[in-house]
Structure 1
Amino acid sequence: MKIAKPRLVIDPFEWLRGYGESRVSFYSVGPDVILDIQYEKEAVVDSEEVVLTIKREIVFMSVRCFIREPFPGGTMFEFDGDSCEFQLGKLTEFRNSEWVREDLKAWRSASSHEPLELKHFSIQFLSENLTFHVLAADVFLSNELSRS
C-alpha cells in the first residue's frame, strides 16, 4: 500500500537520549492503544547525579487498526515521494495513505453510520528494531512519568 505526504507529529529525540529508548511496549485501554516508551535520564537528586528510568506514553485515540513489524524488514507500505521527506524514528502522519482510503471504503460498504476521520501514523524505534503503523483518530504524548 502506498503512503505519501509525511507530516512530523512528534520528534522523540527532543526528549530521548541520543541512544534512544531502553524498552518499548504497548497495551490497549478501550479503543485507545498506548505505546509505553522507557528511557534513561540523568538527574541530580540530593546533590548526587543519578540515572533515572523514565517513561512517556504515546496515546493513539480511537484506534481502528494497529500493526507492529520488525524494523528494518519487510513492510506492506511503500513510500511514494522524496525519501528526505520521511524521517525515521519520528512519529509521522501520512496525509496520503492507501490504508486510510481502503479502510474508509470497507467501512462505507458495511455501515450506514458516518465513519471516524482516521489518520495513518507511523513510528520506528531504532534501538528496539520495531515499527508501528496505526490508524487512529488522533494522538498525544504524555508528560514524563516515573517508571512504576
Structure 2
Amino acid sequence: MELKTMKTSTAPSSLTHLRGLKLAALAIGSSFVLAGCAGNPPSEQYAVTQSAVNSAVSAGGTEFAAVEMKAAQDKLKQAEIALHDKKYDEARMLAEQAEWDARVAERKAQAMKAEQTVKDSQKGVQELRQESQRTVQ
C-alpha cells in the first residue's frame, strides 16, 4: 500500500496568515509595552541620578567641575518638575542627562584632584632634592 501526498495551495496562504497574525500580535504587544513605560514615573532613574549628583558633590564636583555640576543640578531640578507634572518621558530624559553630567563632573573632579596630587608630589620631590644638595655641600 502506498500513500500519496496531495499538494494543496492552502498551505502557503495559511503560513502567510499565521505570519500576519504574529506580526500583528508583536505590534500590539510592543505598543502595550511602550504605553506602559510612558505611563510610569521614572522613580528608579531619578534615584540613580540623585545618587550620581551626590557622588559628584562628594568628589569635589562643585569645586573642580562647576559647569558640569550646575548642568547636572539644573537638569535634575527640571526632571523633578517634569515628574511632578507627570511628563514622565521628559523627566526620564532629563534625569538621564543629569546623571551623565554628574558622572562627568565626578570624573573631572577626580582627575583634577589626582593632577593636584601629582603636582604636590613633584614639588615634594624637588624640595627633597634641594635639601639633599644643601647637606652635601
Instruction: Please tell me the TM-score bracket, short chain as reference.
Output: under 0.3
Q: When the two structures are superposed, what TM-score results if normalisation uses the length of structure 1?
A: 0.20
Please identify the structure whose Cα radius of gyration is greater: 2
Normalized against structure 2, the TM-score is what? 0.21
More helix by share: 2
